[in-house]
Structure 1
């Protein structure tokens, strides 16, 4: 009995640790450049915020121009955006001195922003970062309100010439309109960031960004399904404990956490839908009516337990070959494979439902704007 109790306590502690690892992943991104309206709008857009929203950056900023400013995401506190002061332009600057001042190397990715052309000292900092094997630094040309696509292309071409003259091999500049990140080059920039970052940071970034496009919704869905796989593996191990109800309690707890985080990430809560409607000039009721899954409105433990129970019953009735294979891979207990596949099916189905609602909302919001 004592051994069983100790095993129970050890497994529950392990499940808690694994659950935290599954659901918590921090990412820090920095934005370098003049603290103008475009930079402030870009920072807010990355958080899905508009002027006046809680947690939004202010224009003009209420911070010392030479100091760092940090903006945690109100709904994703593990995603922090840092507003870095511009690289000094009045005289030659020691790149390493600036990088030490702003703690450059602690950021997972850095946007080197400008609205006209990159300054030579900024290029020197970029080259120093590359010499230190930091690939996740990106020149980002922020569109001003009066910029057209033609004027932006002219600025890009002129800026590429500057980068080449300063010694940047194969320079790349991304055109970004902060008020509409789904347009111009931001989707390409996001693809490149996801290619350059470790997978755990990619998942943290994807889950924290607002739902800008249907492609991003699909990426969020896949990211959460990867978490579900890991959680289901945990479920299969916990089900081996010879104590009634332990597995179901862990499954429901982990399921609620994952689905709540997925709901927030997919911007399905009332605040996010209303904010999107306000930003895009759409009737909020129109967007809310597109939430057809009960989970899009609210995630409850009772609802998650019901889905897990239904999936478990279906799995037991089907006695599928897949569950037999999983059981063979997890020989600790006869119910382990069944617990794994039941949780996998229940949570993946739930995430598919929420992602479908998010895709409809994004399509309606962007479509209305067009």
Structure 2
């Protein structure tokens, strides 16, 4: 696929890549970027100076942080506040499923319990006993639960926040970490305004600044402030940890599906840039997938996207059971399981060529200037778009039955 270029041509291509790279990332809001702004700026500088190899290594470094950066979330609150249900909801695990946090189990003395996310290996939720369980000062509580290991704390309450919890939040902030107040079991109350006023008064009565308080129902994450809470957590996380946290979210709204799509698209395009700059669109054997390794890589990637967007067989079985729709019916309305089959009305090659044309005209990124990457990167983007649309189709289908 590659071509040899004159020095002038190489410089032009590098300039095009720098301008298209800049255009793409300028269109992404800071809180949605999956690598830190300083790394993005250094990549731009390297490309502008023609230091392609340097840019290559900086992209590798940025992606490496994403793949291996651990995310540890501490969830605390009094017994009965709904910590287990909250963690299950964020992990996308039903209370009866294997690996679910056990709801209603009495807390034991100062024992913290880790729960790995079933799909994101780097993400761990830690269920901590409430500070009131031991009735000790915040300083000693934080030492006991190994404060330094967590990215942030979520403090839950089913009624009102106790003074010890307010003091704990202050101690956490003084140590330079974020904590979030979440009022659970909102579905049991009459009005949101009454609940919020009740929570706010707790802070006022203790002469404390009123923080943002998130009202949620663990039984229905689509209601109340749960989406606002998630947006806040994503915004406050370091850039290199956002990607995997976004991918961990339950596929319960089209907004979440779109967010996952944008994050994955960034990741794929960064990988494409890392792989190197190629020339113009190749016209011969563009879609020859006779290479066994190449085809196997595509199968693995497609399966990975299906798992992340809830389209794997196990997820479809759960969805079918919850929505009381036959799993065969769900499989009939999605396209991604058949992407690597060539016996359909149009071949993968024909679909791919249409996609390249559509992507090149619709995006202000690397394709806008006529720069092209290896075909496997386009295919991954095509797979991602198809899986994203399938996830939305399933949401519409299943919610229409409820």
Q: TM-score normalized by structure 2?
A: 0.69
Corresponding position: 1:36 with 2:94: no
Closer, same or farther: CA 308–277 of 1 in aligned 2, 3 Å: closer
Q: Are residues 36 and 256 of structure 1, via their aligned partners in 2, closer, same or farther at CA, if it must alter by over 3 Å?
A: farther
Deviations 1:59-99 (A, max 9, x none): 233873520011112222222111011012675x4212111
Counterpart CA distance in 2 for 1:359 and 1:259 is 17
1:150 to 167, 190, 206: 190
Distance 1:107 1:188 in 2: 21
For residues 251 and 29 of structure 1, the distance between their equivalents in structure 2, rounded to whole angstroms, comes to 37
Task: Confirm or deny: 8 A CA contact 2:156 2:183 kept in the other structure.
Answer: yes
Residue in structure 1 matching 2:271, options 224, 231, 241: 231
Q: Give, in whole Å, the separation in 2 of the partners of 1:340 and 1:358.
A: 27
| Whole-angstrom CA distance in 2 between matches of 1:163 and 1:227 | 42
Distance 1:39 1:19, change over 3 A: closer
**Residue in 1 that maps onto 2:397:** 364
1:1-370 maps to which residues of 2 (within 5 A)? 23-36=67-80, 38-61=82-105, 64-88=108-132, 91=135, 93-135=136-178, 137-143=179-185, 147-148=187-188, 150-236=190-276, 255=298, 258-294=301-337, 340=373, 342-369=375-402
Is the Cα contact below 8 Å between 1:95 and 1:121 reproduced in 2?
Answer: yes
2:8 corresponding residue in structure 1: none
Higher relative contact order (CA 8 A, sep 6+): 2
Deviations 1:83-121 (A, max 9, x none): 011012675x42121111112332223210010011110
Distance 2:323 2:361 in 1: 48
| CA drift at 1:44 | 0.9
Separation of aligned partners in 1, 2:294 and 2:350: 13
**Structure 1 counterpart SS, 2:115:** strand
CA distance in 2 between partners of 1:290 and 1:280 (Å): 15
Q: Provide the rounded CA distance (Å) in 2 between the counterparts of 1:288 and 1:18.
A: 37
The verdict on how the C-alpha distance between 1:338 and 1:159 changes in structure 2, with shifts beyond 3 A counting, is: closer
Would you say how many aligned residue pairs link Structure 1 and Structure 2? Answer: 333
Q: Aligned-pair distance for 1:32? A: 0.5
**CA offsets, 1:221-274, max 9 Å, x none?**
0010011111111332699xxxxx9xx888767655544332211111121122
Q: Using the TM superposition, give the Cα deviation of residue 339 of structure 1 relative to its aligned residue in structure 2, in angstroms.
A: 5.6
Cα deviations by residue, 1:151-171 (Å, 9 ceiling, x for unpaired):
554232111111233344242
Any gaps of 5 or more consecutive residues in structure 2?
1-56, 280-287
Could you state the TM-score of these two structures normalised by the residue count of structure 1? 0.75
CA-based RMSD of the aligned residues comes to 4.1
Closer/same/farther in 2, CA of residues 17 and 128 from structure 1, 3 Å limit: closer
Gaps of 5+ in 1: 1-12, 240-244, 330-336
